[in-house]
Amino acid sequence: MKKNFVLYLFAMLFVNFASSQILYQSDFEVWQNNSPLGWDGLNTSIEQSSVTQSSDAISGTYSLKIQDQFSTSFKYLSSSPFYMMPDKTYEFSFWTKGKGTFLINIYFNQSATMTIFPREVFDNNDWTEYKIDFTSFILEDSASIEISLGFSNILSANGLLIDNISIKEKGNFNYLDINNILAAIFPSGSLFNSKANLNSVYSDFESSAPLFIVPKSSGQASTIFQGNIWVGAKDGNDNLHLAAETFYENEFSFGPVSTNCNSTEYLEKYNKVWKVSKAEIQNHIENYYIGGYVIPQNILEWPANGDTLYGESQRIAPYCDVNSNGYYDPQNGDYPAIRGDQALFFVFNDQNQDHLSTNGEKLGLEFRAMAYAYENPQDEALYNNIFISYEVVNKSQNTYTDTYLGMFTDFDLGYGQDDYIGYDSTLNLAYAYNGRDLDGPYFSAYSGVPPVQGKMLLSQNASKFIYFKNSSDPVLGHPSNPNEFYNYLQGKTRTGNPITYGENGTNQSNPPTNYMYSGFPELGTGWNEVTLDNEPGDRRGLISYGPFSLTPNEKICFDFAYPFAKDSNATTPEGSLPLLRQRAAAIQTFYNAQNIDCGYNDVSIKDIGSINQNNFMLYPNPSNGKFIVSSFEFIPNSKIEVYSILGAKLFEKEIKSNSQTFELNLNSGLYIYRIKVNKSVVKQDKIIIYK
């Protein structure tokens, strides 16, 4: 048996290499000693006599037949262990026929259990296929897992048949983990929820795994269940276009707007979130030309350039075109232009799939997004925060007006059914705090005095903030058509009335307001949930900005931050709010000091008439700090700028002759210089200072 087990694993590895899409497959074709090969996992509890071979199969000759499990409690048949990588979404599929109750668990490293297919009563006369998406939320490099099939209530002599189990890699998520927060991002733009694309039929609160874990060291306590973009706008004929995701990935899909979006090539390139660190980039810049240096995969495959043949934008992910040839070639020194010490890049759009959640008409928008974080543990505000930046491009032919863009966030502060929500309009900050003194009970509840979590808009003053209920409430419940989503984006009730100040925000005899729950619960002043003594519960909120217009190819940028706070002196759930407000203010100051333009510094090279990079020479290089910029003849309106490798401008001087000496008072190291004529970059390259 031991020998067979080794052979089996080898065969699995072979499958894995032959098709990178399939992680695991079991067809119940090979049986030994009346047991299916590959099903001798430690978590097996079912009697051997119940496990039989059937020649009624959907694939091959045989299937698995479970019989004589009359009990209502589950007995399990577990697979031999195999390895699963983290950061990936998988599609689990199987075929079944017959009657019985069934579930699927996964055991990680023989201890942690995750129910990926909650109990279901089957009654299928014919072979029926079931599919479910799940995410490996393992945080090690890989984990040994066992699939465990659970059976109960199998009363019929025909038993319950199972065949052709397979696990396919569906998409890659990735996560920030450089500071106190572990936050997952999905290729289609869905934020934080590891099971965002779960079919609603199987959604199971206990087994879903939000991945906004903070403090990271807690390993499981999370403050946000999910976040997603909402956007609505009117076209020239006053028709509403709308894309808004809440929990299911039915509106946005990964990749840029493209006519090639159904090809394997597109899928392989874009079903991904690219993760790079400042340290990796620095190392790349210093070593790319050295033999033996291997370019990290995410730098190599950085989606810098789209395929214009398919209508994709030429520039997608920001990069430094160090050799000024107009395209991304990292083997020649180009590198991703990121913010922060660690960044995730993702690109998604609302064009490539129909909007199945809202039934809204498509807008044709492309979202180029970067989530990033700073390591610096000395700076408590940055250490307990992540940023997400969006560049939104109108790839349609429509000119949109009355456009609103919102960020939907379902805060679940530990246990998600006992929370409160609020808003600080001076900081553009929405926040969640616990509605009861203690959080939970729940496996990932916070112990002690619960912390607080914020979400803030950095780049604009938010126009509206609303909270709406997880219910069918006709005024403030979950929206069910494009107009209702658009009403929420405009800070109105589901029915289109203004939100009003006080009570639950809907009493039309009160004055209209832009921001719900804008008071100070920690002081007991203004409109807030503590003073109202609301019943704690599930809280979700939408910050929105608008109205604005968007012409074809126009872009607009939005930057968000997600500060977290737990004040060790706090004695109440709202007691950490002053610290959160303080951190939010510090983050806004930090952000403002970056002077971030919309998008990223576009370092593409533009020809200025006949002037191009060949007109200028810089030497010596490497230099001791003193160098000469020369040109054949003097070129007016030209200047030189020197940047750190991460894009901070360190030096700027006008070029006033055709051979001018400059002196840089900088430490030894590698820098980037740019020569600009009439504000356009005509040359960009490295300069090495060696003292």
Residues that bind Ca ion (CB under 5 A): 27-28, 57, 59-60, 163, 321, 323, 325, 329, 334, 410, 412-416, 418-419, 434, 439, 538-539
CB of 536 to Ca ion, least distance (A): 8
Burial of 47 (0-12, 13-18, 19+ CB in 10 A): exposed
Q: How far apart are CA 298 and CA 317, in angstroms?
A: 12
Which residues sit opposite 191 in a β-bridge? Answer: 185, 227
The residue (of 390 and 420) whose beta carbon lies closer to Ca ion is 420
CB of 112 to Ca ion, least distance (A): 22
The residue (of 307 and 538) whose beta carbon lies closer to Ca ion is 538
CB of 64 to Ca ion, least distance (A): 8
The residue (of 286 and 329) whose beta carbon lies closer to Ca ion is 329
CB of 153 to Ca ion, least distance (A): 24
The residue (of 419 and 484) whose beta carbon lies closer to Ca ion is 419
The residue (of 25 and 490) whose beta carbon lies closer to Ca ion is 25
| Cα dihedral: 106, 107, 108, 112 (round 10) | 110
Q: How far apart are CA 469 and CA 337, in angstroms?
A: 40
CB of 207 to Ca ion, least distance (A): 17
CB of 410 to Ca ion, least distance (A): 4
The residue (of 149 and 556) whose beta carbon lies closer to Ca ion is 149
CB of 163 to Ca ion, least distance (A): 5
The residue (of 172 and 226) whose beta carbon lies closer to Ca ion is 226
The residue (of 295 and 628) whose beta carbon lies closer to Ca ion is 295
For 175-196, b/e burial (b = at least 16 CB within 10 A) is bbbbbbbbbbbbbbbbbbbbbb
Please state, as a whole number, how many other Cβ atoms lie within 10 Å of the Cβ of residue 279: 12
Answer yes or no: are the C-beta atoms of 257 and 351 closer than 8 Å.
Answer: yes
CB of 686 to Ca ion, least distance (A): 12
Q: Look at strands 680-689 and 319-320 and give their pairing.
A: unpaired
CB of 583 to Ca ion, least distance (A): 20
The residue (of 163 and 424) whose beta carbon lies closer to Ca ion is 163
The residue (of 536 and 547) whose beta carbon lies closer to Ca ion is 536
CB of 557 to Ca ion, least distance (A): 24
CB of 27 to Ca ion, least distance (A): 4
Distances in Å between the alpha carbon of 598 and those of 254, 436, 546, 558, 688? 22, 41, 17, 8, 30
The residue (of 504 and 549) whose beta carbon lies closer to Ca ion is 504
Q: How far apart are CA 606 and CA 532, in angstroms?
A: 59
CA-wise closest residue to 487 among 479, 677, 413, 269: 479
Cα 595–Cα 601–Cα 605 angle in degrees, nearest 5: 150
Structure tokens at 338: 């990121």
Cα 175–Cα 177–Cα 178 angle in degrees, nearest 5: 135
Q: How far apart are CA 451 and CA 677, in angstroms?
A: 52
Distances in Å between the alpha carbon of 254 and those of 106, 261, 349? 27, 9, 6
**In which element (H, E) is residue 410 found?**
strand 400-411
Q: How far apart are CA 341 and CA 231, in angstroms?
A: 30
CB of 490 to Ca ion, least distance (A): 22
The residue (of 292 and 441) whose beta carbon lies closer to Ca ion is 441
Burial of 201 (0-12, 13-18, 19+ CB in 10 A): exposed
The residue (of 323 and 613) whose beta carbon lies closer to Ca ion is 323
In the bound state, the residue with its beta carbon closest to Ca ion is 60
The residue (of 246 and 398) whose beta carbon lies closer to Ca ion is 246
CB of 393 to Ca ion, least distance (A): 22
Sign, Cα dihedral of 471, 477, 482, 486:
negative
| Cα dihedral: 303, 308, 312, 317 (round 10) | 30
The residue (of 198 and 257) whose beta carbon lies closer to Ca ion is 198
Q: How far apart are CA 666 and CA 671, in angstroms?
A: 9
Structure tokens at 240: 């509403």
Please state, as a whole number, how many other Cβ atoms lie within 10 Å of the Cβ of residue 387: 24
| Spatial CB neighbours of 448, under 8 Å, sequence gap ≥ 6 | none
The residue (of 392 and 605) whose beta carbon lies closer to Ca ion is 605
**Residue 403 region, left (φ>0) first, then alpha (ψ -120 to 50), else beta?**
beta
Amino acid of residue 592: N
CB of 394 to Ca ion, least distance (A): 27
Which residues sit opposite 393 in a β-bridge? Answer: 366, 555
CB of 98 to Ca ion, least distance (A): 15
Q: How far apart are CA 309 and CA 263, in angstroms?
A: 14
CA-wise closest residue to 556 among 251, 231, 254, 187: 231
Q: How far apart are CA 615 and CA 633, in angstroms?
A: 8
CB of 433 to Ca ion, least distance (A): 9
CB of 601 to Ca ion, least distance (A): 15
